[in-house]
Structure 1
Amino acid sequence: MKQHLKNRQILSRILIMCLCIFSMPMTAQQIKYTDGNDSWNPDLLGNHRAVVEFTGKNNVAKTTIEWRRRDEKPELKRIIVQDAKTGKEISNVKTDAITRESGTIFFEPVSGKGTYYVYYMPYIDEGDANYLKGLYAKPENKADAQWVSKIKTNLADNCTLTEIQSINAFNSFYPMDVIATAAETTAIIAKNSGSSFLVFPEDRIYSIRMKNDLPQRWIQKGVQNTFSDTALKGEYLAFQLGVYATQDLNNVKVTFSDLKNSNGDIIAAKNISCINTDGVRYDGSVFANTVSVPKGKVQAMWCGIDIPQTAVAGTYTGKATVIADGKSKEITLQIKVTNEVTKNGGIDSPEKMTRLKWLNSTLAQENTVIAPYIPLEVKGSEISLLGRKLVLATNGFPAQIQTFFTPEMTSIGTKANNVLSSPVEFHFVDAAGKESLKWKNAGIKFLKKEAGTVSWESTSTSQSLQMDVTGALEFDGFLSYTVKITALEDATFNDINIHLPFEPSSAKYMMGLGQKGGDRPATFDWKWDVAHKNQDGAWIGSVNSGLQFSLRDEKYSRPLNTNFYLQKPLLLPTSWGNENKGGITITPNQKTVLLNAYSGTRSMKKGDVLYYNFNLLITPFHTIDTDFQWATKFYHKYSSIDSIVKTGATVINIHHANAINPYINYPFIEFKKMKSYIDEAHEKGLKVKIYNTVREVSNKAYETFALKSLGHEIYSPGKGGGFSWLQEHVGDDYIPAWFVPGIKDAAIVNSGMNRWHNYYVEGMNWLTQNVGIDGVYLDDVAFDRITMKRIKRVLTKDGHPGIIDLHSANQYNKSDGFNNSANLYMEHFPYINKLWFGEYFDYEKNNPDFFLTEVSGIPFGLMGEMLQDGGNAWRGMVYGMTCRMPWSGNADPRPIWKLWDDFGIKGSEMIGYWSENCPVKTSNDKVLATVYKKNGSALISIASWADADVKVKLLIDWKKLGIDPAKATITAPEVANFQPAQSFTANDEIPVTKGKGWLLIVKQ
């Protein structure tokens, strides 16, 4: 009996010891993780290898590698063993028990004792080089059957794992991608039984990456209740609280106490926040987010402390409390504040996550007027803005819209161009096809009268409906309407529609809703199809007067663009779309061009609410700045400053994927090199702009995993894949975007309108103020006009030029949702200095009206340049366009630039063929002429759209041209690759080759 009791006591002690050992932090020697210094070809072997030392005697080596991999189903990936001495792959390899935690590999040690490499994630890159489809190589069996037969099942390991290497430091899994084993995870949960979640405080330097696994680092540290760090005065100190859910968690939040030092000095709790749950949206409104964590998942809660510059040095202590489902965990914060004061909140050191503060920035959010615009002016029901006027009806809708731009678009006159032929009206049509509602209207009530924004409201009621209208006009011509329809009783309608009646003279052209830019069709019929088409509006207008309209509801969300529309398309507006019953027709007559946006039959129950919202943009936005066009000659490539000076270019555009701006949309890593380059350019009289937008974000961004912790706020949901680094570290649920093979820069698609735009605005401000950029080159745009205005403000602050040029590939294709680039980006045109429309634009087969509306920018107060195949130099000059150096193949704009300078085109008046005042026409209506007029001389650009070579005579109104015909000479100066030198008389027939033209100088 005594012996039995003694045995039970011994067994109990052994069990207790085992449990203690099982649950205590690992004390075994840590596997060494090292940097491979790019010493092998990852395109053949992958990014990771284990280095093993064979110490056995026979021809079968066995190694068990505790690799602790985060990737799923590692047994489906190939293992490659290489002899370190010869660099040759070993054929005789057999694997066994390949799991995420470890794997056993048998191989033939062909060189005997020594070092061998085990590559365990080789991949194959397929598809477009810039849009990779990275696939992991599948297992293969090359081993000789006779050799395999010699493997003994009880063979002990005869290799030593010396280290695990990644191709370079950036690809390393250590420490935050190294998983805890299932046993370790079970043990730490058991040790903290009764808790619905565990909290692991983590340093900002070690971004939490994995959602499905605990990192081994946390097992080794154990659950900690204290977080300690050191900060400088004025620094934004970021830290993480890793929440591991042992059961489903809803509404996870973090609250903070004041931090106090021993002297009673305080860092207030209001200076501490969690970016996952609280902040400021891109439009300045409050951001509040609910975080849920499913059982068995990890959620990083990124927090930040704004250390005041006035803080007294010392150690401050307080609490961060993680709360979920009524339960809480307290983490003691111990922050040592040094005597050193940082500048800019420490944002000059982004690797410390100091710029996470930018996510909640309100910089440049005030709607102050931006040059060249002028303050809005209200007189009664009329609101005046630069070159335009809006007249309101009592129901709040436009009674009239006018512009005052001259046909040449070079000045603002006094003659009004009416855009509307009658007021804009909503119609509610009953089953009999009649409008039976009788409305009572309370008139307009102005809500705001500011220089940048005027807003108003008006309420109309009938027996069955109430219509609440809220409108706002901004200084650039953006007019937005919220139209709330509330059913006061049950009602049925055959249709609810809006009529936009255009004055025929202001409706010559159309662009959008499936229409390529150009002459407006006589009649038009369109239906919603958001699943395939990024279409919710169009532009209708003439060169000096027009409107863009877009139809939306309260749930509108900006879709993705540039190759990604189908992955996040428009939401069908409940009101306008009405289950695809809605659509748009256009019918003209002598008095009006009537646009009818209808929504079809519907019934409303009492209390039902529908939002028939719509936006209008009044075009043009301003006059054309031709002198800017002649003086601003872009060189679009990173090259030596001296070589660019020799070309005659005046502005350098720095794309990404080069030494000073290597990573797409993240120009902060090599900023010192960038500043040095810009300083040299400024010394030599050149300006420098950089590529930077937010359509996608480089994986080199320091904040990548902090942004991923925000769910789908910053990064779009997706199927993952793409470049190997993304698959191995980001894991899943993202859309891979642009990839640069040489520097292996892999971007992730941005989700749309989110707080990354706040970061973007702050980043552009920092680059302007600290690096000296002169503007930005936008390669398509994934943000809205709110962000564009903020960007323009920071770029032009303190006298900086703030030049913005916009490039777009032709968006009229399946992947982009069949939208027109100019229609898609028109909301940004008020702040753009130049257009570059771009790849896949056909400058040979399209008509002049396409050039004018969809490429030139002229109807909107802009000018542009050509790209695809160098454009058409002859046709381009009719619109004042050339190609751009050196991105235009064999095309070279320098001979035309020289002609500009020789003629003295600066200061001339551009009078296009579209203007009734153009003093020169040709005898063939397929050969068009634009005049650049000066006192006593003129440059005439003619270009042919005729189907064959033709001869034309110039039809010159000499009085309008301001030249005495008796003294006039007409010469064609020699322009390399454009035209030979030649002289003509006013009566000569000028030969014009198909698709080409002339530049003629007329002098007296």
Structure 2
Amino acid sequence: MRQLCARAVLGWMVAGAALALAPVALADEHGAPVLRWDPARLGNHRYLVQVDAPAEAVRAVIPWRRRDAHPEKVAVIVTDPDGAPVANVLRGNIDRASGELVFQAAKAGTYAVYYQPYVGGGRSNYPVVNYAAPRDSADPAWAGKLGKRWDRLPQAQVQRYEAVDDFDAYTDMERTATPAELDALLARHAEPLLLFPETRANPVRMFDTLPVSWTQRGPGGALSDHAQRGEYLSFQVGLWAPRTPVNAVRVAFGDLHGPDGATIPATALTCFNLRGIDYAGRPFVTRVDVPKGRVQPLWMGLDVPADAKPGVYEGEVVVSADGVEAQRVPLSVTVGGTAAVAHGDDDPFKLTRLRWLDSTLAQDSTVVKPFTPVAVKGASLDILGRDIALADSGLPAQIRSRFDERMTGFARQPRALLQAPMQLLVEDASGVHALTGKGAPKVETDGPGKVHWTVTGDAGPLRGELKGSLEADGTLQYAIELQADRETQVGDIRLEIPLHNDLARYQLGLGQQGGEAPAGFSWHWNVRNNQDGAWIGAVNAGLEFHLRDEHYLRPLNTNFYQQQPLRIPRSWDNGGQGGIELERGKERYLVKAFSGSRTLQAGQALRYDVVLRVTPFKTIQPEQQFAERFFHKYGDLDAIKADGANVVNIHHATPINPWINYPFLEAEAMRKYVEAAHQRGMRVKIYDTIRELSDRAPELPMLESLGHEVISAGKGGGFSWLQEHLDGDYIPAWHVPENRDAAIINAGQSRWHNYYIEGLDWLARNEGIDGLYLDDVAYDRITMQRVRKVLQAHRQDPLIDLHSANQYNPRDGYINSALLYMELFPYIDRLWFGEQFDYEKSTPAYWLTEISGIPYGLMGEMLQNDGNPWRGMLFGMTSRLGWSPKSDPRPLWKLWDAFGIARAEMIGWWVHDAPVKTGRDDVLATSYVRKGQGTLVALASWAPERAEVKLAIDWKALGLNPAKVKLVAPEVPGFQPAATFKPGDAIPVEPGKGWLLRVE
């Protein structure tokens, strides 16, 4: 039986009789679920009843104690001992407590009552499950014979409850108390707040009513549990406010006193619902209110010291609230003599990993490769390949890039981005006033990877305070507060970024797809669009900018943007007056972010926050691109190696990584696979991110108790497990029908990021993974930095690649995938963009800026319809092996190896002095140069018809004698036939295709 069977439902007590649940394996050796029956036909739950003798009609009362709110609106299916549906069925009293049925029993034996059948719809990966409504199938003549006294009919005996598999089964904590049982409990207890302690073994699963076990035992009492030395012990106290709302819940802990005067201090205890450490490492407190009639679990944790003396430790948990008298829960923990391994974290079902929620692992200002520490010289700041000079305002006076156009090294002369200093301007009746400080900013160092500064000054009638920071990856962050001492009328508050005209060659963002920067453009805020900035620049020098305020919260993305869209910054938007204008002049390309006229009251302050990122972040690494060949599928390692791949991407829904974004439940299988890969000189990366979370995560009930800190608010629905076991306020996400894995959407920023970082550390230490495959990431740069630091701590050169579908569509708010994820690019090794990208109708500038990653220091591969291989080679891109049956880059790999492309210098068509040129804008050439040994020229066409191209070749740059060379097109199946050309020949290029020519 697989590990997940630890969640098997135990026997239930119904009407005084034990209803045993027969064990069943959750999945076979291939990861496919083993089910007792077809849930798509009958639903996930049934009761078995025994009929001792054939009868025209028998009565059964099913004590189902259901958690769904309206059982009377859901169908019931009865099947006979042979599994055939029984047509003659009548429904009597149906409520949450029980269901009364009368059905025809043509033979003796065991009948099954399926009580939540559903009808599926929607896409297979985004199912829409609706529960079947009752339908009268009984023969009127048969029904007419029954009379009204059903209690006189033969009684079918309830045997037991069963679920389609162990995971779908309702737990004891999901068996509801009846109204009578609740009334009896309230008659005995008049307190406004009732407390129900529970161990971690019985997570609270219902929030609108009580489980019957609570009414049977009553509120209060002690909580007792066992732990090993060094273990992190989690537990709960369920709160119920039956009569009135209870506000501002508080929890206090006392020391735990053990044998021979030993003590575990109160500081070793925490309540996760009331306080914690957020994803950015900042402590926070949370207010918990319990609405009338609702249940609120408080999850707590005890960090048992590793040197604790064995024995019993006793203390108490004190719970109070506004207007509610404090109540004490005695706590008794028996500490065993053995020491826990890694706090107990190796077993996810022990819930010791809840402590990860408050982790600050890798939350520091250190530097990861290839970045260099921020060097400070007065107000001049130097980072990898770039430098920034600060003006007195604290904003950049100049930004320079030292990257060369080839993007593989650095130029002798840096390239200036700004034509003049950036300025924040306030316009009033007396003129235009720039925010200015009092002398050069004083820069302070937080650590090797980060510096900050503060400037106080004036902007005409307003006082200003600017807090700025720069990090080693090239990210500048500004929080700018403007305040009025008296009522002040302003005509505009705006930011001006004057770029050099020749630098502003390309642009993406603000609703524009990647391409040539427009001569003029105007944009305004719109909450339906995930747009608050843009990137403008050239291949080797560019600037990304975003406009925000203090209320910024990262929106949801990838199909879910409209459910948690952008929080429009009130300062920049100003009631719809704000926007951005782009304007090309003779010498400068001006970015003007304006907010329009407004009146500020005395003492009123506005935050004009700005995020800037200077690109490229790093040099591209063609030698790694061509040497590291990805196989994007789980498979036999020897076969994968024989195909020429050396990096395996393990998706979810695979035997060693079955559950989406919860890669901990097949640990031994994953470790063995990774070890076997390492023995063959191969590396393994796994699918693991945060956008959504599998329902298989044992922490899910606890995360529900945190409200919407971790789980995004939504309308519920989706796959049946979600509807049957969650409280209904969630967004259903990806579903894998093959193994019945259903997920829900996470919040964009939460403590689950801390858990994720600790989880990666655990995977790197225990499973040996070499990196990550990220699929449309839902976290920001702070978490991405930590990801890189954790993996780099365990692997010399970890690999991280990012896939994204094209998010430029109304569902995703017309955001460019490259711009959405650009903040993560410094810490990524490769891109895979992606579904819905158009490789055929898009321009070379689109390829360069939206797909290739090259202007930002990255390379990648193609996905949609396996891409365009000819155009892809201009950027060093192929499709990926293993993902699509039609995708086969192996013939190109063979050519690469025969030529030695990993030892060549890549010189793209965008380089002004490229050694091979076509003389056309619609047929382009990229050269892979092994000087003096040979060159591989990639040609690709965007011309609408067949083109004849004569190559202009700088033979000296190639180190070749034109009198002794020829241009040879080796035969590459599916790519090109064999051909030979002489220098100066007109080379025919078909529309949308091209050549790979060896100059030798």
What interval of TM-score do these two structures reach, taking the shorter chain for normalisation? over 0.9
- The equivalent residue for 2:914 is 918
Instruction: Go from structure 1 to structure 2 and tell me whether the alpha carbon gap of 1:320 and 1:982 turns closer, same or farther (over 3 Å shift).
Output: same
- The equivalent residue for 1:116 is 111
Q: What is the distance in 1 between the residues matched to 2:252 and 2:340?
A: 26
Does residue 1:574 correspond to 2:561, yes or no?
Answer: no
Q: What is the distance in 2 between the residues matched to 1:516 and 1:637?
A: 31
- The equivalent residue for 2:681 is 685
| Mapped contact 1:869–1:889 kept (Cα < 8 A) | no
Does residue 1:773 correspond to 2:769, yes or no?
Answer: yes
- The equivalent residue for 1:289 is 286
- The equivalent residue for 1:886 is 882
| Mapped contact 2:393–2:436 kept (Cα < 8 A) | no
Q: How far 1:114 moved relative to its partner?
A: 2.3
- The equivalent residue for 1:147 is 142
Alignment of 1:525-924 (within 5 A): 525-530=522-527, 532-924=528-920
Q: What is the distance in 1 between the residues matched to 2:979 and 2:810?
A: 47
Q: What is the distance in 2 between the residues matched to 1:187 and 1:155?
A: 29
- The equivalent residue for 1:164 is 161
> 1:330 aligned to 328, 331, 350, which one?
328
| Mapped contact 1:35–1:168 kept (Cα < 8 A) | no
Q: Which letter does structure 2 place at the counterpart of 1:657?
A: A
Q: What is the distance in 2 between the residues matched to 1:265 and 1:459?
A: 54
List per-residue Cα deviations over 1:376-403 (Å, max 9, x = no partner): 1011210000000000001101000000
| Mapped contact 1:56–1:159 kept (Cα < 8 A) | no
Secondary structure of the residue that 2:470 maps to in structure 1? strand
> 2:48 aligned to 48, 51, 58, which one?
51
- The equivalent residue for 1:126 is 121
Secondary structure of the residue that 1:348 maps to in structure 2? coil
Q: How far 1:917 moved relative to its partner?
A: 1.8
- The equivalent residue for 1:32 is 19
| Mapped contact 2:368–2:789 kept (Cα < 8 A) | yes
Deviates most, 974-983 or 643-652: 974-983
List per-residue Cα deviations over 1:858-909 (Å, max 9, x = no partner): 0011101001001000000000111101224423111111111110112211
Does residue 1:92 correspond to 2:79, yes or no?
Answer: no
| Mapped contact 1:441–1:461 kept (Cα < 8 A) | no
Gaps spanning 5+ residues in structure 1: where? 1-24
Q: Which letter does structure 1 place at the counterpart of 2:313?
A: Y
Alignment of 1:204-223 (within 5 A): 204-223=200-219
Secondary structure of the residue that 2:126 maps to in structure 1? coil
Q: How far 1:430 moved relative to its partner?
A: 2.3
If the length of structure 2 is used for normalisation, what is the TM-score? Answer: 0.96
Q: How far 1:263 moved relative to its partner?
A: 1.1
If the length of structure 1 is used for normalisation, what is the TM-score? Answer: 0.96
Q: What is the distance in 1 between the residues matched to 2:767 and 2:106?
A: 56
Q: What is the distance in 1 between the residues matched to 2:603 and 2:989?
A: 68
Instruction: Go from structure 1 to structure 2 and tell me whether the alpha carbon gap of 1:924 and 1:464 turns closer, same or farther (over 3 Å shift).
Output: closer
Q: What is the distance in 1 between the residues matched to 2:500 and 2:568?
A: 30
Q: How far 1:572 moved relative to its partner?
A: 1.0
| Mapped contact 2:425–2:459 kept (Cα < 8 A) | no
List per-residue Cα deviations over 1:631-673 (Å, max 9, x = no partner): 1100000011111011100100000001100000000001111
Deviates most, 742-751 or 886-895: 886-895
Instruction: Go from structure 1 to structure 2 and tell me whether the alpha carbon gap of 1:343 and 1:449 turns closer, same or farther (over 3 Å shift).
Output: closer
> 2:254 aligned to 238, 254, 257, which one?
257
- The equivalent residue for 1:16 is none
Secondary structure of the residue that 2:495 maps to in structure 1? strand
- The equivalent residue for 1:107 is 103
Q: What is the distance in 1 between the residues matched to 2:269 and 2:68?
A: 35
- The equivalent residue for 2:992 is 995
| Mapped contact 1:870–1:889 kept (Cα < 8 A) | no
Q: How far 1:31 moved relative to its partner?
A: 4.9
Alignment of 1:118-517 (within 5 A): 118-156=113-151, 158-193=155-190, 195-246=191-242, 247-325=244-322, 326-430=324-428, 434-435=431-432, 441=438, 443-448=440-445, 450-461=447-458, 464-517=461-514
- The equivalent residue for 2:29 is none
Secondary structure of the residue that 1:250 maps to in structure 2? coil
- The equivalent residue for 2:9 is none
Q: How far 1:601 moved relative to its partner?
A: 1.4
- The equivalent residue for 1:15 is none
List per-residue Cα deviations over 1:551-593 (Å, max 9, x = no partner): 0000001000000000000011010011121111111112100
Q: How far 1:220 moved relative to its partner?
A: 2.6
Q: How far 1:292 moved relative to its partner?
A: 0.7
Instruction: Go from structure 1 to structure 2 and tell me whether the alpha carbon gap of 1:643 and 1:872 turns closer, same or farther (over 3 Å shift).
Output: same
Instruction: Go from structure 1 to structure 2 and tell me whether the alpha carbon gap of 1:889 and 1:590 turns closer, same or farther (over 3 Å shift).
Output: farther
Q: How far 1:343 moved relative to its partner?
A: 1.3
Pairwise CA RMSD of aligned residues? 1.5
Q: What is the distance in 2 between the residues matched to 1:774 and 1:233?
A: 32
- The equivalent residue for 1:19 is none
Q: Which letter does structure 2 place at the counterpart of 1:939?
A: L
> 1:945 aligned to 924, 942, 945, which one?
942
Q: How far 1:188 moved relative to its partner?
A: 1.4
Q: Which letter does structure 2 place at the counterpart of 1:220?
A: Q
Secondary structure of the residue that 1:557 maps to in structure 2? coil
Secondary structure of the residue that 2:526 maps to in structure 1? coil
Q: What is the distance in 1 between the residues matched to 2:744 and 2:17?
A: 33
Secondary structure of the residue that 1:127 maps to in structure 2? strand
Task: Count matched residues.
Answer: 974
Q: How far 1:36 moved relative to its partner?
A: 7.4
Secondary structure of the residue that 1:292 maps to in structure 2? coil
Instruction: Go from structure 1 to structure 2 and tell me whether the alpha carbon gap of 1:57 and 1:884 turns closer, same or farther (over 3 Å shift).
Output: closer
Q: How far 1:159 moved relative to its partner?
A: 1.3
| Mapped contact 1:248–1:295 kept (Cα < 8 A) | yes
List per-residue Cα deviations over 1:14-58 (Å, max 9, x = no partner): xxxxxxxxxxx9995145152474221111000111111124664
- The equivalent residue for 1:971 is 968
Q: What is the distance in 2 between the residues matched to 1:707 and 1:656?
A: 22
Secondary structure of the residue that 1:176 maps to in structure 2? helix
Q: What is the distance in 1 between the residues matched to 2:879 and 2:465?
A: 50
| Mapped contact 2:733–2:744 kept (Cα < 8 A) | yes
| Mapped contact 1:447–1:457 kept (Cα < 8 A) | no
List per-residue Cα deviations over 1:437-471 (Å, max 9, x = no partner): 79663541324353111100111125621010110
Q: What is the distance in 2 between the residues matched to 1:548 and 1:291?
A: 40
| Mapped contact 1:198–1:245 kept (Cα < 8 A) | yes
Identity of aligned pairs, percent? 47
Q: What is the distance in 2 between the residues matched to 1:669 and 1:255?
A: 35
Secondary structure of the residue that 1:251 maps to in structure 2? coil
| Mapped contact 1:31–1:164 kept (Cα < 8 A) | no
List per-residue Cα deviations over 1:746-783 (Å, max 9, x = no partner): 00100110000000000001000100000000001100
Q: What is the distance in 2 between the residues matched to 1:463 and 1:516?
A: 38
Q: Which letter does structure 2 place at the counterpart of 1:336?
A: T
| Mapped contact 2:54–2:106 kept (Cα < 8 A) | no
Q: What is the distance in 2 between the residues matched to 1:30 and 1:598?
A: 73
Secondary structure of the residue that 1:359 maps to in structure 2? helix
Instruction: Go from structure 1 to structure 2 and tell me whether the alpha carbon gap of 1:350 and 1:437 turns closer, same or farther (over 3 Å shift).
Output: closer
| Mapped contact 2:393–2:435 kept (Cα < 8 A) | no
Q: What is the distance in 1 between the residues matched to 2:669 and 2:681?
A: 19
Q: What is the distance in 2 between the residues matched to 1:687 and 1:234?
A: 34
Q: What is the distance in 1 between the residues matched to 2:204 and 2:953?
A: 73
Q: What is the distance in 1 between the residues matched to 2:526 and 2:862?
A: 31
Instruction: Go from structure 1 to structure 2 and tell me whether the alpha carbon gap of 1:890 and 1:209 turns closer, same or farther (over 3 Å shift).
Output: same
| Mapped contact 1:440–1:462 kept (Cα < 8 A) | no
Q: Which letter does structure 2 place at the counterpart of 1:123?
A: Y
Q: How far 1:968 moved relative to its partner?
A: 2.0
